[in-house]
Amino acid sequence: MVSALPRFGRYRLALLALALLLPLALLLGAGLGAYPIPPLAIPGILLRGEGVEYQVLTALRFPRVLGAALVGALLALAGGTLQGLFRNPLVDPGLIGVTSGAALGAAVFIVLLPGSGPLEVYALPLFAFLGGLLATRLLWGLARTPLGTQVTVLLLSGIALNALVGAGIGLLTFLASEQELRSLTFWTLGGFSAVTWRLLLPALPLALLALALLLPLARPLNAFALGEREAFHLGVDLEALKRRAVAGAALAVGVAVALAGGVGFLGLVAPHLFRLLAGPDHRYLLPGSALLGASLAVLADLLARTLAAPAEIPVGVLTALLGGPFFLYLVLRYKREVYRA
């Protein structure tokens, strides 16, 4: 009990720090950019309710930073859940093929069904979401056996699906015109420049549903970490846990990819950083990962549009530059732990 108190305090301290970091990141993200607005002046501008700065904030900056926070939170929460389900901290939402399925759905729309006029702003994310949903349904069907859902088969099927989807996107890239190729490349690199209120608001109910599916899984995932047999004897409904975790993660990733395209590594980095800060208890890890992922996404977007202003660096490129070395660090650390064992 005595040894548990410092860890419990560290969890609460980490959550408090992340809860304070997110509004700070949102304030910086809303204020800084090609048209700089002092972050501390934002409350006054909102109270006045008029002027160019008010228009910039309400029409451009707020949907963008809130969209970035939502995408980061969803990806990080999906990553933390899947890492708990697979009992492997190296698992990323992209590994089970959901991100690739969403990317293929978007590629099909851009190359084969262009020119939807005013509906295009909704059609592209809809196709991305449907692509992620179909990929999840296919994987779930492959992993189902008379003995239940096999997590290992799910993971291996996801790897195979990623390869197939990569080939499909390559074929569509070969068929695309110059304009379609530019759109496809820009979308797959990821970014938040296209996030507007018209795109963000319809996504909110689905995002809330994903949060409602995933956040209550903390206690069952803690039991699952002891092993499937131990979790069963502790009263966990294993099939319901797996079904809800995969469905919630697919929904979260589908919404995130539909809003921002291919923004990778947030689902891997945020949960692992929280484990380093506080520990692996999913009761704190899941909300902590969501808060940290939201802040990281907002800050990554801020860097993307200020480092090379007035041009913008694709956010997916930045997250890959930061997340790739971090993933290698995790692999090397895992390798050292294996040798020690």
Greatest C-alpha distance within the chain: 66
- How far CA 8 is from CA of 13, 80, 211, 269, 290, in Å, comes to 9, 19, 24, 22, 19
- The mean of the pLDDT values for the chain is 82
Residue 200 CB contacts under 8 Å (≥ 6 apart), including other chains: 63, 66, 67, 70, 259
The range of the structural domain enclosing residue 95 comes to 7-340
> Is residue 2 a part of any domain in this protein?
no
At 34, is the secondary structure helix, strand, or coil?
coil
Instruction: Report which of 43, 7, 90 is spatially closest to residue 268, judged by C-alpha positions.
Output: 90
Q: For residue 211, what pLDDT is reported?
A: 92
> Is residue 17 a part of any domain in this protein?
yes
Residue 30 CB contacts under 8 Å (≥ 6 apart), including other chains: 37, 39, 42, 57, 61, 62, 65
Q: Is the confidence at residue 317, as pLDDT, over 80?
A: yes
Instruction: Report which of 189, 129, 108 is spatially closest to residue 116, judged by C-alpha positions.
Output: 108
Number of CB atoms found within 10 A of residue 341's CB:
5
> Is residue 249 a part of any domain in this protein?
yes
> Is residue 150 a part of any domain in this protein?
yes
Residue 322 CB contacts under 8 Å (≥ 6 apart), including other chains: 265, 269, 300
> Is residue 32 a part of any domain in this protein?
yes
Q: Are strands 148-149 and 144-145 parallel, antiparallel or unpaired?
A: antiparallel
Contact between 32 and 302 under an 8 Å Cβ cutoff? The reply is yes
> Is residue 273 a part of any domain in this protein?
yes
Helix 197-214 / helix 62-86 crossing angle, nearest 10 deg: 30
Residue 339 banded pLDDT, cuts 50, 70, 90 = low
Instruction: Report which of 94, 67, 102 is spatially closest to residue 207, judged by C-alpha positions.
Output: 67
Q: Structural domain tally of the chain?
A: 1
Query: Which CATH number do you get for residue 205?
Result: 1.10.3470.10
- Lowest-pLDDT range, 32-36, 144-148, 179-183, 206-210? 144-148
At 330, is the secondary structure helix, strand, or coil?
helix
- Cα(187)–Cα(194) distance, rounded to whole angstroms? 10
Question: Highest-confidence range of 4-8, 207-211, 276-280, by mean pLDDT?
Answer: 207-211
Number of CB atoms found within 10 A of residue 54's CB:
16
Q: For residue 183, what pLDDT is reported?
A: 73
- How far CA 18 is from CA of 114, 198, 262, 311, in Å, comes to 41, 29, 25, 30
> Is residue 252 a part of any domain in this protein?
yes
- The secondary structure of residue 93, as a DSSP letter, is G
Residue 1 banded pLDDT, cuts 50, 70, 90 = very low
Q: For residue 294, what pLDDT is reported?
A: 95
Residue 2 banded pLDDT, cuts 50, 70, 90 = very low
> Is residue 66 a part of any domain in this protein?
yes
Instruction: Report which of 110, 262, 115 is spatially closest to residue 177, judged by C-alpha positions.
Output: 110
